[in-house]
Amino acid sequence: MADVQVEQNRAFGGVIDIFEATGIEYVIWGGVAAIAYGEPRFTRDMDVVVRLRYSEADTLARLLEETGYSVSVEAIRDAVDRYFYFNAIHLETGIKVDFYVAPRDPIYAWAFKHRRMKNFDEFRQAAYMPPESVILTKLQAYQESSSTRHLDDVESILRVSGSELDLAYVHREAARIGVFGTWRELLERSGLGRRRMGSGGEA
C-alpha cells in the first residue's frame, strides 16, 4: 500500500505542480477529495475540476507531456468546448487523472469560491473542493449511476467532518438539484439531522 501511495503522489503531484505554475484554477474532486474530509479508502485515480480556456489547451497538453503524461490536445479542446472531460495517463505508473471542465452551475461556482488548500503530501499543498460540494456532487453521481460508493463517501464525510459543514447550504442545494430525499436520509442516519440549521450558505 505504501508503494501505491508513492506512485499516486508522483502521478498526482505532477498535475498539481503544473496547475500551480500556470495559475489554471482547479479543485481536487471525487474519491481523493472524499478521503480528505472522510475516512481512508483506496482510490486508484484522481478527478480534478478545472476552469480552462480554449487558448490554454496547447500549453496544458505540452506541460503534461513534458512531465511524463500521455494526453490528447484534441480531447482537451473538445472538453473545453462541451464542458466535458479528458484524461491524462502518467506513463511511469499507469495512473489516470480525469479532468472535468467546470460547467456553468452554481454548485461549481460555490466550490471554486470556497475551495480549501490542504496538505497533499509532504512536499506540496493542493486546492480541494469543499466538503459541502463533494457531498452534493456525490449525491448527483449516485442519482445518475446508483453506485452506493457515492453514498458511502457522503456518510464518511458526515462522520468525520459533519460538525464543520454548512448544512443549510447543502440542504438548500440538495433540494434545488433534486437529491433532497437521499440527502435527508443520510443526514438523519448520521444523527446530524437533529442539529439546527442556521441561515448559512454564503453565496
129, 155, 173 - which closes a domain = 129
What is the edge-to-edge ordering of all strands in the sheet holding 46-51? 69-70, 85-90, 96-101, 46-51, 25-29, 125-128, 116-119
Are residues 68 and 81 both part of a single domain? Answer: yes
Residue 117 has pLDDT above 50, yes or no: yes
User: Cβ–Cβ contacts within 10 Å for residue 80, how many?
Assistant: 19
Does residue 200 form part of some domain?
A: no
Do 153 and 187 form a contact (C-beta atoms < 8 A)? Answer: no
Are residues 123 and 60 both part of a single domain? Answer: yes
Q: pLDDT for 170-203, tens place per residue?
A: 999 999 999 999 999 999 999 887 654 444 455 5
Are residues 43 and 72 both part of a single domain? Answer: yes
Give me the chain's average pLDDT, please: 93
Range of the domain at 62: 2-129
Q: How many domains does the chain have?
A: 2
Cell (9 digits) for 138: 456525490
pTM to 2 decimals? 0.90
Does residue 108 form part of some domain?
A: yes
Are residues 162 and 183 both part of a single domain? Answer: yes
Are residues 117 and 19 both part of a single domain? Answer: yes
CATH number at residue 23: 3.30.460
Does residue 202 form part of some domain?
A: no
